[in-house]
Amino acid sequence: MNSALFPDLIVNGEIVPHTLIAAETQNHEGPADKPGIAWRKAANAVAIRTLLLQEAKARKLTVEQQEVGPGRFETNEEALIRGLLDTAIDVKAPHSNAIFAEWEKDPARFRAPPLWEVSHILCACDPHDDEARQKAKHRAEALTELTIKDPKGFSAIASQESDCGSKASGGALGQLGPGDTVPEFEAILHQLEEGTITQTPILTRHGWHIVRMDAVALGETLPFEAVKQKISDAMEKAAWANHARVFVDHLVASADITGADFRPI
């Protein structure tokens, strides 16, 4: 292994096995022709985890492992790091005045969920089957051209060509709100303006779609009291993250580390 690209990681005298860093690299992106970047990101992450564990052990913390999913518990290391951060970071809920000031910056950020009235034409396929996906795409592209040439004929085309049960109603899906459809379909709804049709087919797990936005009802701006707790939670979470960064930065600055590089990449 190239020691220049993949140096040994030593944290306060503790030698970290290369296997730990290699396993961590799967969680970090880097150019295919520059493997050293992903390794560096992984080494930094492992160095921080090692520092946190060293600090937890220095404080002689004992923490019970919590259930994080049905039948799935934290590892001992995860529990120690959580316990350390819970001990080291004390963030109080923001004052009502601060919460109101955050809301008052731009009340329009806090709206009720939108409603979309949508019609579509589906060319169904298995998106994991390359041949079927391409065949359905060509068909969807041809149907898209038809709808662009004859927008008023969209419903008739849907009734004849769509592979969705909504063909019985000219492709109409009725009113949809956030979470009512698959994420890749919903992403398009956030972009389409009322009265417009997608100019290229959209691929979801169900196949290719030509989508028409029949009507959009943007949610009304919510009053302060309706969003006060949501804003408070977000502010507290942001404050906690900031305190955590400061705590970790202090550990890094006070540590003797070789094989990691915390300068911006």
Please, are residues 202 and 184 in contact by the beta-carbon 8 Å criterion? yes
pLDDT band at 252 (very low <50, low <70, confident <90, very high): very high
The pLDDT of 214-223, averaged and rounded, is 92
pLDDT confidence tier of residue 179, bands split at 50, 70 and 90: very high
CB neighbourhood size of 259 (10 A)? 21
Give me the pLDDT at residue 241, please: 96
Lowest mean pLDDT among 33-37, 161-165, 221-225: 33-37
**36, 265 Cβ separation under 8 angstroms:** no
Mean pLDDT of 69-75: 90
Domains of the chain (ranges; CATH) run 9-92+231-258 (no CATH), 115-217 (3.10.50.40)
Beta carbons of 217 and 194 less than 8 angstroms apart: no
Q: What is the pLDDT of residue 5?
A: 62
Q: Is the pLDDT of residue 3 over 90?
A: no
The beta strand positions in 70-194, using DSSP E, are: 72-73, 115-124, 172-176
Cβ–Cβ under 8 Å, residues 244 and 81: no
pLDDT band at 189 (very low <50, low <70, confident <90, very high): very high
Give the span between the Cα atoms of 241 and 245, in whole angstroms. 6
Each residue's pLDDT tens digit, 115-135: 999 999 999 999 999 999 999
* Predicted local distance difference test score (pLDDT) of residue 263: 84
Verdict on whether the full-model pTM lies above 0.85? no
Q: Residue 217 gets which letter from DSSP? A: E
